[in-house]
Structure 1
């Protein structure tokens, strides 16, 4: 179901695009490339000078290299377009601190703590928060989501549709289905 049509005429002023791509490398590792781009549809006066309509105000990029357990084994961050050139674009090396973190175990909380306030770039940090689910989707490309495994599939109990007591779990993951009291 799409969004309803606007009820009042409007004109777009700003666009943010987040692009995430997952890759499998020949050496068995995985990479995630992520980009966040902010563009204004009108000329945008900044303290550092005018940004012309259509020129990115922000263009941040991140590449994470992961092993099959979602551990970050390499990290690179850069800023190709920033509002304060020579300032904003110097924080990229700080994101090397991501190496050693696990992308699906406390990652968002840890990133929020590590790069809060002046310790990071708001936009770069926000971009990182999208990467755990992108990694899961990348890995899922190579795994059947309901194959027989000893441990509960990762995706169960991580969204409302795949709660252990939900109909989708009963239908597609019957081994892991747990009806609630009065159900089923």
Structure 2
């Protein structure tokens, strides 16, 4: 197949950053931005090429147990003036724990007209960043004494590399392995003659 000519018609960028605060909480901030490479005409005005059509931010602060202590949404740019009116609804995330069921419950609470599609799209990004950055919280709590591979144990079984019957778990977490024989060491099934 030959090279195809293509023309950009949309760009979405998502930036997610995590910070340890002086009060010991982990703060995660995600920003979504949509731009078009051409002028967009809207009922409430127009945007020149490259100007944000959407720019929304979601910031949460969690403790070492992933309990949400603060949640704040912000609409910086939107196609309609009323879009930002829904941002206080994201304060309802306070008191929730990021873990199994968090995304389903949050999406249910902020579905349809009860939330902003674009801010709600940032929930899984924020949640996974909390887990990725949580080692910093635990490192500070443990003063760096706990090896990183021990802190990763809570991710076991959640992806291909960390499957419970796989090579990495057998090597690094043998107490969590579900099968004592690695897949590539298993005897082939007997064949009928």
Structure 1 length-normalised TM: 0.88
Q: Which residue of the other structure, out of 111, 114, 118, is the alignment partner of 1:116?
A: 111
Question: How many residues are matched?
Answer: 176
Cα separation, 1, equivalents of 2:10 and 2:181: 48
Structure 1's consecutive aligned runs of 4 or more residues displaced over 6 angstroms after TM superposition are none
Aligned position for 2:100 = 105
| Distance of 2:178 and 2:69 partners within structure 1 | 37
Alpha-carbon displacement from aligned partner over 1:38-89 (angstroms, at most 9, x marks no partner) = 011111122222111110001101110101100001111110000002x001
Unaligned 5+ residue runs, structure 2? 140-145, 186-193
Whether the aligned pair in 2 keeps the contact of 1:145 and 1:153 (CA below 8 Å) is: no
Distance 1:39 1:18, change over 3 A: same
Equivalent residues of 1:103, 1:131 under 8 A apart: no
Which of 144, 152, 169 is 2:147 aligned to? 144
Instruction: Give the structure with the higher percent helix.
Output: 2
Q: Secondary structure at the match of 1:153?
A: helix
d(CA) in 2 for partners of 1:123, 1:106 = 20
Match of 1:133 in 2: 128
Q: TM-score, normalised by structure 2?
A: 0.84
Unaligned runs of 5+ in 1: none
Q: How big is the alpha-carbon RMSD for the aligned residues of Structure 1 and Structure 2?
A: 2.1
Aligned match of 2:37 in 21, 37, 41? Answer: 41
CA drift at 1:180: 7.6
